[in-house]
Structure 1
Amino acid sequence: MKKSDTNPMSKAHAAPRCMATSKRTGERCKGPAVKGWAVCRFHGAGGGHGAGKANPAYKHGIRSREYVEMRKAINDLVREEKEIEALIK
């Protein structure tokens, strides 16, 4: 078995640090940030849950992305119709 001279924790120590700051002391968190996030797992990286019906707080979907986009499209059509009506009169 070949023994390595490098410290196995060197990658962990070289990881970018969490950008969260303490409200009490004003110091930054010293924990390693999660890959792709600016904060560590304690400060919210990867938190939350998915959107849609799999979401535990999902009730009716009236504020879902699809419904909001559909309402915007309908409102745009209504505005265009009013503009055309105003031009005809």
Structure 2
Amino acid sequence: MTRSQKNDTTRLDASPRCGAKTRSGKPCRAPAVAGKARCRMHGGAVGSGAPKGNKNALKHGYYSAEAKAMRKHIRDLIRATHEITDDM
């Protein structure tokens, strides 16, 4: 390799940068992973990010759609029962 080939950093300088905010408040200057907007340290690495299907946002328990529908059904049954007993 010639000396000019060794020191040719134009491709590296032209590559897109990560841009994530560092602890100092300045944008990250590391090159972004190919096809991603962040570097390997800020979420561009393989396996980083939310899982497929986004299980992180899965609602369960009291506020799930299933539980809300069940409570609405029970309220409707109680209301119907009150209407029937009031007519007697």
* TM norm structure 1: 0.47
Query: In terms of Rg, which structure is larger?
Result: 2
* TM norm structure 2: 0.47
